[in-house]
Amino acid sequence: MRRGGAWSPLPWLGALLLVYLGGPIGYFCYRLAATSARGFHDPGLLSAFWVSVQGATIATVVVTVLGVPLAYVLARHRGPLVALLGALVMVPLAVPPLMAGILLIYVVGPFTPIGSFFGGHLTESLVGVVLAQSFVCAPFLVVSARAAFSAVDPTLGDVAATLGHGTISRFWKAEVPAAAAGIRAGMLLAWLRAFGEFGATVVLAYHPSSLNVYTYIQFSSTGVPGTLAPTALALGVAVVAVAASRLVVVRLRRHPHERGTMLPSPRRPEPPAPAPLRFDIDWRLGAFHLSVAHRAESLRLAVLGPSGSGKSALLRCLAGLYGAGPGPVEYGTRQVQPIPAEYRRIGYVGQGFGLFPHLNVWGQVLFARDADPRIAAYWLEALHLDGLERRLPAALSGGQRQRVAMAQALARSPDVLFLDEPFSALDAPVRVELRRELRRLQREAAVSTVLVTHDPEEAALLADEVIVLAGGRVLQQGPTTEVYDHPCSPEVAELLGVRNVTAATIDADGSLRCAGGVVLHPPIDSLPTGSLPTGGLPAGTPVLWRVRPADIGVSAVPSDQVRGDALGSDEPGGDSFDARLDDLAWLGGRVEARVALAPGLVLQADDPAVGELEIGRRVRVTIDPRTVHVWAVGEDAVTPGALVPSGSNKP
């Protein structure tokens, strides 16, 4: 067969297998139609068929009731014991069915303690058939259900907990419906395996005869002609089962949240009591140690840091998803450390939106145990979701799903709203729109919010206080304006997105000596009254200084004025330097340049005139000393107010 001009053997190889699988079935159907003595009226056939159907059905029910919880445990936990249990589940697949029957005889045979307790009747009864079928079919359900649970977003359980659902309720209402397709497939496989079991059944429960044992007896006594009827019944069962697996499962009982299309009249929620967070978290996750303490004075807190810094772990500690172990947590005046997450009255929006795939939008916002339908209707309208009530998550855009997650968390009027990088998976335009939407909701709902993000602009927009986190430790914390205006180190400045923060030391004359010997002379009279001038600090004192990119001028240097290879200038005033244009980028409506004043001292400039220059050429950099902001640095953090910068200093 040719595809794209080249011959491929793959379809032919697949066709050979199809012929091998379909040939015997087709020939059997021909023989069944060609003969009149099919044996459907033979005594014992229907009773044997009924034994197999009964046994397989009972075995599947038993295995489902016991195996689904086991599959959930195996999917959600790790460790040597879980690995051992997983291997134990696979043993019946590896042991030949005949030997599986022998193993069962050692446990439930007539002369065992269990067999004797039941008068030796376990083996020669339908119970024996069920025991044999359950042993061999259990792995099929557990393996399939375990794979299904592993594919379910683990944040669904967290979201359900924060919406007031306990352990059992989360399992049945969140986890099981999300894994339903895999569980149904496992049940089908388990039933088919139980129905077709012969080896364990013939050893453990020869009577009453199952269809497979009956077929073996007929074959032994009359040969192939006596097996037509039982084989036809088995083939019919297989056809029905395969057809059933292809059908769309229709729920016989509609979810109550899906009845009707009329929503209740919206009711604006009452603002909750102010609940700024105070906490002292000390928690270990394997080798990672999280240690963060904070006493918020405002209702809007952001936790900012790079990936792996412990931001999401901190949020889970504050929400109670790790229990009481991490340390004391207060929501306003309420001590919540000993209270489980489902009783804390919180809202939680995870990174993956946390929507339940089996519920439509209206079902999502009413999933909380204490959700108010009228308040839910209000948030649907406020978040522009009206008209989408009957849609499933798969039929929503990313922005709509994020809005549904917000409405879901707010419908129960929480005391605190936790947001774990809620906009990270969205496109830039949608992200900007939803940031503004959340800012509006913060004002309207007046609810305490804790936002985890790696985006400094997002933190500045949505929080009044910020914690900068790295490696499980606080690098800096405090009011947003103070932290952004006075980052305590270049590392913090980089995480905050604050540009041109550079380390320097105080010279004897009060000037700033930077990398490569570059010297700046910020005038003392540019500092506000009452601040500490640089000249009052001892020589050698480490400080940080900053100049906004917009306050740096860049111009071309005529070739006859270039002073050799020296990049930095040490002339009095320190406001003009020879430099090199390292890079140039056009970013929408502005031009960003990187200029090297000296080795180790590179600044960013937003001078529109620089767009006409070439990368690599010498330029003249001009810094107005009045725009230089300087602050002292302590051993671990900035000393607030030690040197107060003049003028506006936004990132």
Q: 437-488: per-residue pLDDT in tens?
A: 888 888 877 889 999 999 999 999 999 999 999 999 999 999 999 998 888 8
Give the residue with greater pLDDT, 342 vs 563.
342
Q: How far apart are CA 176 and CA 182, in angstroms?
A: 10
Q: Print the SS3 string covering 546-580.
A: ECCHHHEEEEECCHHHCCCCCCCCCCCCCCEEEEE
Q: What is the DSSP letter of 633?
A: B
What pLDDT was estimated at residue 640? 33
- Burial class (CB within 10 angstroms; exposed 0-12, middle 13-18, buried 19+) of 261: exposed
Strands 416-420 and 346-349: what pairing? parallel
What residues have CB less than 8 Å from 355, skipping those under 6 apart?
364, 393, 401, 404, 405, 408
Instruction: Compute the 3-state secondary structure of the chain and give helix, strand, coil in percent, each to the nearest 5.
Output: 45, 20, 35
- Say what the pLDDT of residue 257 is: 44
Cβ contact 547:525 at 8 Å = no
- For 324, the token pair is 């009481």
Whole-angstrom distance, CA of residue 36 vs CA of residue 99: 39
Q: What is the pLDDT of residues 169-182, one digit of tens each?
A: 999 999 999 999 99
Tell me the mean pLDDT in the region 86-103. Answer: 92
Q: pLDDT of 310-331, one tens digit each?
A: 999 999 999 999 999 999 999 9
Helix segments in 472-611, DSSP class H? 480-485, 490-496
514 confidence band (pLDDT: 50, 70, 90): confident
pLDDT at 249 > cutoff 70? no
The per-residue pLDDT for 617 is: 84
Average pLDDT of the chain is: 84
Residues in CB range of 82: below 8 A, 6 or more apart: 73, 74
Q: 317 or 562, which is more confident?
A: 317
Q: Which residues pair with 336 in a beta bridge?
A: none
Cα 441 from Cα 269, distance rounded (Å): 12
Pairwise pLDDT comparison (590 vs 577), residue with the higher score? 577
Beta bridge partners of 450: 301, 418
Helices (H), 77-96: 80-94
Cross-strand partners of 578: 620
pLDDT of residue 575: 67
pLDDT score at 326: 93
> Rounded to an integer, what distance in angstroms lies between the CA atom of residue 332 and that of residue 235?
67
What's the one-letter identity of residue 553?
Answer: G
pLDDT, position 392: 92
Higher pLDDT, 274 or 364: 364
pLDDT of 561: 56
Confidence label for 288 from pLDDT (cuts 50, 70 and 90): very high
Q: pTM of the prediction?
A: 0.78
DSSP letter at 287 equals T
CB 641 within 8 A of CB 478: no
Q: Alpha carbon of 6 to those of 2, 12, 342: distances in Å?
A: 5, 14, 61
Predicted confidence (pLDDT) at residue 600 exceeds the cutoff of 70: yes
Domains of the chain, earliest start first: 45-246 (1.10.3720.10), 277-482 (3.40.50.300), 498-632 (2.40.50.100)
- Bridge-partner residues for 604, per DSSP? 594
Indicate the pLDDT class of residue 631, thresholds 50, 70 and 90.
confident
Instruction: Phi first, then psi: give them for residue 49, nearest 5 degrees.
Output: -60, -40
pLDDT tens for 116-150 read: 888 877 888 899 999 999 999 999 999 999 999 99
pLDDT tens-place string over residues 184-243:
999 999 999 999 999 999 998 888 899 999 999 888 888 888 888 899 999 998 888 878
pLDDT at 650 > cutoff 60 = no
Confidence of residue 4 (pLDDT cuts 50, 70, 90): low
- Residue 62: per-residue pLDDT: 97
Residues 6+ apart with CB under 8 A from 71: 141, 142, 143, 144, 145, 146, 148, 149, 186
Cis peptide before 230 (omega within 30 of 0): no
Q: How many angstroms from the chain centroid is the CA of residue 295?
A: 28
Whether the predicted pLDDT of 565 surpasses 70: no
For 359-390, what is each residue's pLDDT tens digit? 999 999 999 998 999 999 999 988 888 889 99
Distance, in Å, from the CA atom of 339 to the CA atom of 565, rounded to the nearest integer, reads 67
Confidence tier at 591 by pLDDT (50, 70, 90): confident
Q: Which residue bears the tokens 């003249």?
A: 620
Strands lying side by side in the sheet with 576-587: 552-556, 618-623, 576-587, 590-598, 601-605
- Per-residue confidence (pLDDT) for residue 511, from 0 to 100: 80
Give which of 624, 641, 259 is closest to 479, Cα–Cα: 641
For residue 651 the two structure tokens come to 């990132």
Q: pLDDT digits over 62-77, tens only? A: 999 999 999 999 999 9
What does the angle CA 11 – CA 17 – CA 19 come to, to the nearest 5 degrees? 100
